[in-house]
Amino acid sequence: GAVVSQHPSWVICKSGTSVKIECRSLDFQATTMFWYRQFPKQSLMLMATSNEGSKATYEQGVEKDKFLINHASLTLSTLTVTSAHPEDSSFYICSAKSGQGASEQYFGPGTRLTVT
Amino acid sequence: GENVEQHPSTLSVQEGDSAVIKCTYSDSASNYFPWYKQELGKGPQLIIDIRSNVGEKKDQRIAVTLNKTAKHFSLHITETQPEDSAVYFCAAILYSSASKIIFGSGTRLSIRP
């Protein structure tokens, strides 16, 4: 099946710094990638949708200047958490799909971000 | 927008028994309903899905049913095993080019030995 990877798997950063998370589709071209945030014992909340070569669409309440998303190629999307604060500590998960319409999305293994 | 409700939030069953998780959705335009299993510290893994033109789908010990009229869909796991212990999420896909997944709140399934 299709494989999506994330790097790093976990990261600890100091408050005020920025951290970049990569999401890669390893064996297929992802026309659309999604970024989710998951707090402990909660469901996944969609942060933004990105299509290759265009600006990301952010969900209501998600600050686009704080969570920078770049979908530079059909196999790579990056999420940069700028000026991180402890409340940004969470599990960040990406997913990727190819084609249009309602179809299977493939999820990455997630990145655990801890801001101290 | 779409809203997906999931019950129960926790479920404990004896090994070998069946487990049932139920979900309802609000947007009749949703046409794809995946179920995900998430183990601790990992991303969700698709275990089964169903489209709106199908009423039931089965894959070995796992089955999903869909009632479009009532906007209900359910996950059934038979002959449960310890490795079935995880958090399960139902979801609905909005029928649009964006295809956003709307997740249920999750069910923590524990299998008692």
- Over residues B51-97, the pLDDT tens digits come to 888 899 999 999 999 999 999 999 999 999 999 999 999 999 875 65
Give dist(CA A92, CA A94) in Å, integer: 7
A7 interfacial to chain B (CB closer than 8 Å):
no
Min distance B13 CA to chain A CA atoms (Å): 20
Task: Determine which of A37, A105, A113 to mutate to test the interface with B (most B C-beta atoms within 10 Å).
Answer: A105
Report CB contact under 8 Å: A34, B89: no
A103 interfacial to chain B (CB closer than 8 Å):
yes
pLDDT grade for B10, boundaries at 50, 70 and 90: very high
Residue B1 has pLDDT above 80, yes or no: no
Report chain A's mean pLDDT, rounded to a whole number. Answer: 92
Q: Which residue of B has its CA nearest to A93?
A: B43
**Following CA atoms A12, A17, A18, A19 in sequence, which dihedral angle do they give, to the nearest 10 degrees?**
-10
Min distance A111 CA to chain B CA atoms (Å): 9
Task: Work out the average pLDDT over A78-100.
Answer: 93
Question: Which among A57, A102, A107 has CB closest to B44?
Answer: A107
Do residues A90 and B35 touch, judged by C-beta distance below 8 A?
Answer: no
**Following CA atoms B76, B97, B53, B105 in sequence, which dihedral angle do they give, to the nearest 10 degrees?**
20
pLDDT grade for B2, boundaries at 50, 70 and 90: confident
Largest CA distance in chain A: 40
Encode pLDDT of B18-63 as tens digits.
999 999 999 888 888 999 999 999 999 999 999 888 899 999 999 9
Give residue B78's identity as a one-letter amino acid code.
T
Residue A7 has pLDDT above 70, yes or no: yes
| A42: CB partners within 8 A, 6+ apart | B105, B106
Partner B, chain A 38-57, Cβ-Cβ below 8 Å: 42-46, 49, 57
Task: Work out the average pLDDT over A100-106.
Answer: 72
Q: Compute CA distances B81 → A25, A89, B17, B53, B93, whole Å.
A: 32, 33, 9, 31, 29
Q: Provide, rounded to the nearest whole percent, the portion of chain A with pLDDT above 70.
A: 95
Closest CA to A68 of A96, A88, A86: A88
